[in-house]
Amino acid sequence: MQNLTVLGSTGSIGGSTLDVVARHPDKFRIVALTAHRQLDLLFRQCIQFNPRYAVLLDEVAAVQLSKMLRDAASSTEVLCGVDALEQVCVLPEVDTVMAAIVGAAGLRPTLAAAKAGKKILLANKETLVMAGNVFMDAVRASGSALLPIDSEHNAIFQAMPRGYDGDMAANGIKRILLTASGGPFRNTPLAELQAVTPDQACAHPNWVMGRKISVDSASMMNKGLEVIEAHWLFNASADDIQVVIHPQSVIHSLVEYVDGSVIAQLGNPDMRTPIAYGLAYPERIDSGVGALDLFKVATLDFVAPDYERFPCLSLAYQALRAAGTAPAVLNAANEIAVAAFLDKRIPFLSIPRVIAAVLDALPVSTVCCLDDVLSADAAARHAAQLQIQQLSK
């Protein structure tokens, strides 16, 4: 029986995780669920899974949830705040932490889980983008098991040799091929991108995701962040990672070997597949995902990425090569720019402009500890806000 904390249980990854858990009550038990402020959904999840703890970041929502659970005769205890997120990650009875909080907010609790030696199912790519060396050092020091949940990195993990030790050459690996759908604007004329709306950017053709990550997919920053994540997960250089546009999202990623073999992981575009793989590893369990119908798919297309159309992807490679605090600056500037776009304060094409300006404005520093990351993050957010104010004039 695995005891789980689910960080971000009301998001798409959290919901898919609970769907898989519900299919295997003999294998998994929920100890803690956390959310930002989605009160009603978290309440329903608490009633269904009866966790020991529920955590909300919003204090007013936490008070409301506590009353709702008391009225429903639930024994779930409600906690509030960032410190509580860390608390439910390091509980002695917790074996596994699903890290599914979107953005920089997931960094501290996920790092706490790593230091505590928990099995981590990593769906929060910002943890590695912002603080890759700090996080990986914590994983190695504690002996924590780290399993990637992003469909692409999970596919790479499955296609690599069992027990891969981070040495690509010694394992006969030539390169990693990271697939991308191309998002909703893959074929949109460049002249029309300036006027696209947040709703259009969030209308992903293959995946159902939250609004922030959907915009990242539309700009291909999501794939850029995944390139940086792959660097830390698999000890691969920027030159070892090739992005491939694959509109059908059936091949989730590939690993090319020196003997000419290319091993791919295929499946329907449903996050329950990598979640189930991570939960049960090294076993396999039913995820609830339907069988892949190759006859219905019929055709698989592959296209090289267009860096003029997707400058965010180029900026991510730039930040990876710069190393140090550059990836944290990239991530922070992107979060601020995407929020401004979703609030209709800047147009879609201004997202990469804001990020590029912030990367140019801030010096790259060495990352020795978490404080270095958080300082760079704060400076980048401030610089991005200034850029957005100038664009709004």
Domains contained in the chain, number = 3
The Cα angle at residue 86 between residues 85 and 88, in degrees rounded to 5: 70
User: Residues 247, 334: one domain?
Assistant: no
Which of 302, 265, 263 minimizes the C-alpha distance to 172? 263
| pLDDT one-digit tens code per residue, 38-51 | 889 999 999 999 99
pLDDT at 390: 84
| pLDDT one-digit tens code per residue, 304-351 | 999 989 999 999 999 999 999 999 999 999 999 999 999 999 999 999
At residue 204 the predicted structure's pLDDT band, cuts being 50, 70 and 90, is low
pLDDT at 85: 95
CB 153 within 8 A of CB 222: no
| pLDDT one-digit tens code per residue, 108-159 | 999 999 999 999 999 988 889 989 999 999 999 999 999 999 999 999 999 9
Domain-located, residue 56: yes
Cβ atoms within 10 A of the Cβ of 359, count? 19
Average per-residue pLDDT in the chain?
93
Q: How far apart are CA 354 and CA 55, in angstroms?
A: 34
| pLDDT one-digit tens code per residue, 125-136 | 888 998 999 999
User: Residues 120, 10: one domain?
Assistant: yes
Q: Is 266 exposed, middle or buried (0-12, 13-18, 19+ CB in 10 A)?
A: middle
Q: How far apart are CA 172 and CA 259, in angstroms?
A: 8
**Residue type at 99?**
A
* Sequence-ordered strand ranges (E) for 27-124: 28-35, 53-56, 77-80, 96-99, 119-122
User: Residues 168, 141: one domain?
Assistant: no
Q: Identify the DSSP state of 235.
A: T
Q: What residue numbers bound the domain in which 168 lies? A: 157-268
User: Residues 191, 124: one domain?
Assistant: no
Q: How far apart are CA 201 and CA 183, in angstroms?
A: 8
| pLDDT one-digit tens code per residue, 157-189 | 999 998 899 999 999 999 999 999 888 888 888
Domain-located, residue 34: yes
User: Residues 342, 246: one domain?
Assistant: no
Domain-located, residue 42: yes
pTM above 0.85, yes or no: yes
pLDDT at 205: 64
Strands 173-180 and 241-245: parallel
User: Residues 81, 194: one domain?
Assistant: no
User: Residues 168, 106: one domain?
Assistant: no
* CATH code at position 384: 1.10.1740.10
| pLDDT one-digit tens code per residue, 207-232 | 556 788 888 989 999 999 999 999 99
pLDDT at 69: 95
Structural tokens at position 367: 């990352």
User: Residues 369, 235: one domain?
Assistant: no
* Sequence-ordered strand ranges (E) for the chain: 2-7, 28-35, 53-56, 77-80, 96-99, 119-122, 146-148, 173-180, 241-245, 251-257, 262-266
